[in-house]
Every structure is written in structure tokens, then in C-alpha cells.
Structure 1
Amino acid sequence: MGFSWFLLLFIILASFNPTLSAHGNSDLIQKTCKNTQYYDLCVSLLKSDNSSAKADTKGLALIMVKLGMANATATNSYLSFKMTSTTNDTLMKKVMKECADKYASANDALQNSVQDLSDEVYDYAYIHVMAAADYPNACHDAFKRYPGLVYPHELAIREDGLKRICDVILGIIDTLGF
């Protein structure tokens, strides 16, 4: 499962930044990522973004937030597409709609954290990122409420990806003096 979600995330990343680079402020990236739960993910994602070369620690957090927003937006789009194109099951459509709304809320929470980071209000940024990481749980729980519905594997991969990105962001915020 680990490789699958990383591949999915890489594809999403490539679509937003077609000129992936192995460069970046390597020392700062490595130092910053050592404070996160997913060091390898943190380093690879930050090094893949050209703007990381000139970023400070707060800038690295903002880059990760943008990646989280890309994940949440892509998952919302995926769910919206699945909802309209692949099923006539009203219950499944209802749950997918609920999940799409949760991922939209995750995106909104991450967007709020951008302003908080910019204003150096790190405690609020932390809270917003924690909320963004929790919204996929509500989606997963929606599937659990209906015993006949199976939580799609693709959605589980996307959920895991967003949670890991949020965990990295939280680790970076911790280094900013929260």
C-alpha cells in the first residue's frame, strides 16, 4: 500500500509541477524533515518543488500545505466523478457526496492554515492542519455506518496520503515555535 499512495501522490504532484527538480535547499529540508514523522516523504516532496530552494522553514510548511490542498482537491474531484459516473446506488452516492464534502472541508482547513502560517499564528495553523487530517476519518466512518458498503481501496490510499502530508506539516509547524 505504501508504494501505491506514494505513486499516486507523485502523479498528482507532477500534474501541478511538471518540472520536478532534485534540487532545493537540501540542508534546511533535511534538518526540517528530521522533525517530522515521515522523513522520506517530507524530503522527497519538498525537493520535488522548485520553490523549496529559496524557502525558509515557514516556506517549506507552506509548500507542504499546498501539497495537502492538492491531495484534498484531487480526492474531492475523484469522489465527485465516481458519484456521478459509476453508480446508481443511492446510498453509495449519498456517502460519496458526504466524503466529497469532507475533503472540501479538509481543503478549506488547509487554506485557513496558509493565512495562519503567513501571520505566524502557529497554534491556529496547527489546529487547522489537525482538522484537515481528521476530515478523512469522517468519510471512513460514513462507510462504516452502512454495513453493505465497502470502503474503496483507492479512497483509503488517498486518505492515508493526506494524513501523512498533514503529519509532516504538523512536524514542521512544531519547529516554528508552536
Structure 2
Amino acid sequence: MGYYSWFLPLFVLQISFLYPIISFADANPNLIQETCKKTKYYDLCVSLLESDSSGPKSDTKELALIMIRYGIAKATDTNSYLSNQIQGVANDTLMKTAMRECADKYASANDALQNSVQVLSVNMYDYAYLHVMAAGDYPNGCRTAFNRGPGMGYPSELAVREDGLKRICDVVLGIIDSLDW
């Protein structure tokens, strides 16, 4: 009985001293910067991840998930923007058709990003990568839809939105590349 009477308090004391070391061993205050250096758009990556309240406390996979959420928001916002613009196009059926097709492409980009969250959550990095690549490519179909119509140019607002989504997807791809798979 004597052995156990001093062993348990000593064990608890050791664990209490080690707990702060263990709990903060994985925390890396520079993880965002280190991760973003591996991406195509460092400034965008750092800006978005540092602005998210969970960013500084996240591991690399969680940083990818945060960026995917930004991509989902961008795709959803662009889809909503296009849906509202369709209302304002009165009699131009070519323009309405192009806008509907474009809205569908952004809805598909949103779906692809949602799928990437699911597969990334279960460490299927290759499938997550493919879904993010697809999400970044869907806006090309939007541009094509506008270029099909005679005299229809690609609206500059859509070009900006397309570029934003593609950049976010490129950042996510860089982060996924840095995961161990």
C-alpha cells in the first residue's frame, strides 16, 4: 500500500507539469504563414486565414477547410448575383441564357467545394484535390457561355468574381498539396 500512496500523487504532479507542454506542442504560431508560403497567392491566403477567428488555432487540414468555406461563400455569392442580374435582363434571351448557364456553373462550383469538405474531412486528399480543381474550373464555362453570343462581352464584374474564386481554389490546392498524403 505504501508504494501506491506516493506513486499516484507523484504521477499526477508529473502530468500537471507536462500538460502545458503536451497541449501546446502542436501549436505553431507561424503555421498560417508557413502554410501560405506553399500556395500560389500568399497574401490572399494569409489575409483570409488570419481574418478567420479559428485560423490561428487550426492545423493545416483545418486551414484548408477554412479556405474552402471562403470558396463556397464566393461561389454562392456569385450565383446569387447572377440570379439577381437575370431579373434585370428584360428581353435579351441570349443574355438570360448565358446568365442562367453561368449561375449553374457557380452552383456546380459550390457543390464541388461542398464535396471537397466531405472527402477532406475523412483524409481523402486526392479526391478533395479533384473537387477543388473542378470548382476552380467551372467558371471557365461561364466565360464560354458569354463568348458564344454575338456581340456579348464577358461582364467585368464576373471576370473579377471568377478570378477571386480561382485564386481561392488555387490556395486550397496548395494547402492540400502540403498535407501528408
Task: Identify unmatched segments of 5+ residues in structure 1.
Answer: 1-24
Q: Which residue of 2 aligns with 1:65?
A: 68
Q: Which residue of 2 aligns with 1:112?
A: 115
Aligned residues: 154
Deviation at 1:26, TM superposition (A): 4.7
Asked whether the equivalents of residues 82 and 100 of structure 2 are also in contact (C-alpha less than 8 Å), the reply is yes
* Equivalent position to 1:128, from 125, 128, 131: 131
Q: Which residue of 1 aligns with 2:13?
A: none
Q: Which residue of 2 aligns with 1:143?
A: 146
Q: Which residue of 2 aligns with 1:158?
A: 161
Counterpart Cα distance in 2 of 1:171 and 1:129: 11
Counterpart Cα distance in 1 of 2:152 and 2:115: 33
- CA deviation digits over 1:54-106, x for unaligned, max 9? 11000000000000000000000000000012443111001100000000000
Give the fraction of aligned pairs with identical amino acids, expressed as a percent: 70
TM-score (norm 1): 0.84
AA aligned opposite 1:130: M
Asked whether the equivalents of residues 73 and 103 of structure 1 are also in contact (C-alpha less than 8 Å), the reply is yes
Asked whether the equivalents of residues 26 and 47 of structure 1 are also in contact (C-alpha less than 8 Å), the reply is no
Task: Identify unmatched segments of 5+ residues in structure 2.
Answer: 1-27
- CA deviation digits over 1:134-167, x for unaligned, max 9? 0000100111111311110000000000000000
Asked whether the equivalents of residues 143 and 154 of structure 2 are also in contact (C-alpha less than 8 Å), the reply is yes
- Structure 2 residue 84 is matched with structure 1 residue 89: no
- Structure 2 residue 69 is matched with structure 1 residue 53: no
Deviation at 1:171, TM superposition (A): 0.1
Asked whether the equivalents of residues 49 and 63 of structure 2 are also in contact (C-alpha less than 8 Å), the reply is yes
AA aligned opposite 1:27: N
Counterpart Cα distance in 1 of 2:180 and 2:143: 33
**Range that drifts further, 87-96 or 109-118:** 87-96
- Structure 2 residue 32 is matched with structure 1 residue 29: yes
Deviation at 1:51, TM superposition (A): 1.0
Q: Which residue of 2 aligns with 1:171?
A: 174
Counterpart Cα distance in 1 of 2:110 and 2:149: 26
Max Rg structure: 2
**Secondary structure of the corresponding residue to residue 50 of structure 1:** coil
**Secondary structure of the corresponding residue to residue 91 of structure 2:** coil
**Secondary structure of the corresponding residue to residue 148 of structure 1:** coil
